[in-house]
Copies of this chain bind each other. A is one copy, B any other.
Amino acid sequence: MRSRRWQSKMKRLVPLAALALALPALAADYPPTPAEIVAAAPAAEWTAIDPADLLVMDLAPDRDGNARRVVIQLMPAPFSLGWVENIRKLAKVQWWDGTAIYRVQDNYVVQWGALAEEKVLPNGLNISPEAAYLLPLPEASEIGWLLPHGDAEIGLARDHYAFAVAFRGGWPIGGDNGNLWPLHCYGMVGVARGIENTGTGADLYAVIGHAPRQLDRNIALVGRVIEGIEHLSSLPRGKGELGFYEDDEAEKRVPILSVRLGPEASGLPGFEYLSTDSASFAAYAHARANRQDAFYKVPAGGADICNVPVPIRRIAG
């Protein structure tokens, strides 16, 4: 009874988006929603993520004893920046085990590693120069490679922070006439640093707010959270400057039990993303930019690239 009442309320007041889910009878009257397009994409349009590109971070259980696992996809070639190799080395020597999350700044980032501790780094880490934030275009001076093709109509080209942006190889990428770089969208993971150098990768952050695109080309991006972002984004914010946990709130620093590369992580499912070159992805992006159903009356006619998250899911079975 309670549940039925709840359900009937849900139908009356289905809040924001995804109305099509609640009202399948109306679906035929509207173009397919982004979620429907993704659900209908053929298997051939999904690309498996190499488990070797996964970084699996197990946090200490929450206060109710629930496990907290965060799965990060490291950027593969040709977008992989130099810091990714350091991260692989750090994971292999289990360097992060026993470190902690020490910074949570609202509408910005969650950061972890060993900032608050004396923890010696392993040998063999390379410090890349700032120039390494940029990658050469696959074909020299061929910005056309990046310029939107099917994306043009949703206006992705009108970016505020880059000459051109587009999805390539499953990632949001920006560029100009000579270089490419990855973009700071929600969930992206980057390398914390000071000013002396570009950082090793031992301290990492994940974006948990509105895309801080001003960081593009100023700091290294190495991947994105593909599962468990809520274990980072829902952490209590730090009271200190920049969201650092202060000494009197040290109990908020979530211990990191372990960080492993995919092949060494236990119980890891497979993951796949909707190929950003596929027809379904183009239709999905178009639908994200032109919502129209029983809920959305006025399609925007455009979307910024960080408002078109690449669909990622567990491989069934």
- List A residues at the B interface (Cβ < 8 Å): 2-3, 5-6, 9-19, 21, 23, 63, 103-104, 106-109, 111, 115-116, 118, 130, 133, 154-156, 158-161, 185-187, 192-196, 199, 203, 205, 209-219, 229-230, 233-237, 241-242, 244, 247, 288-289, 291, 294-298, 300-304, 306-307
Contact = CB atoms under 8 A, between A and B. Distances in A.
Nearest to A114: B9
Given A16-B205, A18-B242, A115 B9 contact: yes
B13 A304 contact: no
Indicate how many identical chains form the complex: 2
A205 B6 CA distance: 19
A150 B242 CA distance: 29
Contacts of A13: 115, 192-194, 199, 203
8 contacts: A13-B192, A13-B199, A15-B109, A18-B242, A19-B195, A160-B303, A213-B307, A230-B236
A237 B62 CA distance: 13
B210 A307 contact: yes
Contact of A247 (B2, B156, B304): B2
Given A160-B303, A210-B185, A234-B235, A15 B205 contact: yes
Contact of A209 (B5, B210, B235, B298): B210
A214 B307 contact: yes
Given A234-B235, A302-B160, A247 B3 contact: yes
Contacts of A214: 288-289, 291, 296, 300, 303, 307
Contacts of A116: 6, 9
Contacts of A199: 13
